Structure 1
């Protein structure tokens, strides 16, 4: 991998997380007005269309994307991801973008913690130390036992846990299925399941909000494409640290668009979580085991 490709990969990651942040801003508005399940369903329709078009353009054709050696794991992955997306967007409507993403930032640490029981990997004391520090940062953000704590603040943590399990199952399927097969099953199965779940919650939408929904779906698709290009251009270990910039972009949107407040405990807790995650990534460089990606396939 050349330095030029690494630099390009870094810029692609920065662009991807900026677009993801913009997407989250739209999802907060739409889900505050309409059913979360309907909004997620429409998003999945766009993502499934994107994967189908990509599959049709590949030389090996659609059949190669459909064939998987782990159909039940693919079903589990798709189920975990739609649950994660619905929960985190619901969290946006209840506690806002900033606090949701601050807690969700613990996801890479949860992946490391669960890699032992789920994948049988060795989790050394340095990684456990980083995990413990990161969880302490979550406690600082949530402030359990204080008058400001609400049960809704646990939603992004639940979403992070689901996304961590999804990421580990992705690593399990990746031994036999290509990344595109994983993406195809995630998109098509997710769209099918969300259609069944979301259609009963269909609501009439204004023409203006249909326009915002089209932009939202377009941003989601564009962000996925940028992320695919990023990991095809540079090594994951080189671009992973820049994924944390999504928190900064989301905070900017939350403050300027939704009048959210960056409370001191959220700022401190987020800094602790990010520092622990970056330290763990630095410790993992050069090892044979691949480190989990903070943003594999669709994020929030």
Structure 2
């Protein structure tokens, strides 16, 4: 893997996080006016069509993409991601982009904390310390006694937990299934679980908002394609820290477009959370590097 590929992957990761941030803003606009589940259902219709198209064009076609001995876990992964998207968009409506993303930034810490019970990985005292520090950052953002006991404050935390479990289960099924299989079941399981309640909660949408909906669907598929290319070009540990830029981009959009405020305690708490998350990524990368060197003759 060349240094040039890594640089290109980092630039593409930055572009991807920006697109995701714009998507979040559009999702918030639509969810302010329509039912959240209906919005995400329509998005998943397009996503599922994209996933099936990719599977049909890959080697072996649909049958190869769908083949798995871990069907239950693959379906559960897809349901988890669909739930995470719905919960997070609800968080945008209740808390705004700035605060919701500041809290959601703790998901790498949750992945580190849950990697032991879910994957059987060992978590050393340094990473446990970073996890504890990160959650102190969450308390700083939520300000105990003010927001922390409000139900709205738990929404992005619930989304972060769903996304962390989704990430861990993706690593688990990745031991046996290809990325194409996991991608296929993510789209199919999500669309199946969202369509019945989404149709039940259907609301008429204005022509202008259908335009925003079309933009959301197309941009979501494009961002996912970019993300796939990122991980084809470079190791995840090299590009993952740049995913935190979504917090910066989403906060800027929240301030400029939605008139949200950026309070000093939110900045401090987010800095603590991101710093702790970057440390856990660094420790995981170092640990993987040491294992690799030990295996060398």
- One fold, TM greater than 0.5? yes
1:149 Cα deviation from its structure 2 partner: 5.9
Change (3 A) 1:72 1:256: same
Task: Find the aligned partners of 1:266 and 1:65 in 2 and give their Cα distance.
Answer: 43
Listed as ranges, the gaps of 5+ residues in structure 1 are: 291-300
Match of 2:231 in 1: 231
1:49 Cα deviation from its structure 2 partner: 0.9
Task: Find the aligned partners of 1:286 and 1:266 in 2 and give their Cα distance.
Answer: 30
Listed as ranges, the gaps of 5+ residues in structure 2 are: 291-297
Does residue 189 (structure 1) correspond to residue 198 (structure 2)? The answer is no
Q: Which has the higher helix share?
A: 2
Task: Find the aligned partners of 1:189 and 1:148 in 2 and give their Cα distance.
Answer: 33
Task: Find the aligned partners of 1:67 and 1:246 in 2 and give their Cα distance.
Answer: 34
Match of 1:63 in 2: 63
Match of 2:294 in 1: none
| 1:172-207 Cα distance to aligned partner (Å, 9 max, x none) | 111111111001001011111110121101010111
1:286 Cα deviation from its structure 2 partner: 3.4
CA contact (8 A) 2:6 2:233 kept: yes
TM-score by length of 1: 0.94
Task: Find the aligned partners of 1:81 and 1:52 in 2 and give their Cα distance.
Answer: 17
1:80 Cα deviation from its structure 2 partner: 1.2
Match of 1:243 in 2: 243
1:75 Cα deviation from its structure 2 partner: 1.6
Task: Find the aligned partners of 1:289 and 1:173 in 2 and give their Cα distance.
Answer: 22
Task: Find the aligned partners of 1:59 and 1:161 in 2 and give their Cα distance.
Answer: 34
CA RMSD of aligned residues (A): 1.4
| 1:183-233 Cα distance to aligned partner (Å, 9 max, x none) | 100101111111012110101011111011000111111110110000001
Change (3 A) 1:154 1:78: same
CA contact (8 A) 2:148 2:154 kept: no
Greater shift, 56-65 or 127-136, is seen at 56-65
Change (3 A) 1:197 1:289: farther
1:59 Cα deviation from its structure 2 partner: 2.6
Match of 2:21 in 1: 21
| 1:88-111 Cα distance to aligned partner (Å, 9 max, x none) | 100111110110000000000000
Structure 1 stretches of at least 4 aligned residues deviating more than 3 Å after TM superposition: none
Greater shift, 58-67 or 129-138, is seen at 58-67
Greater shift, 11-20 or 281-290, is seen at 281-290
CA contact (8 A) 2:5 2:233 kept: yes
Number of residue pairs matched by the alignment: 290
Match of 1:154 in 2: 154
Match of 1:82 in 2: 82
Change (3 A) 1:29 1:170: same
CA contact (8 A) 1:143 1:149 kept: no
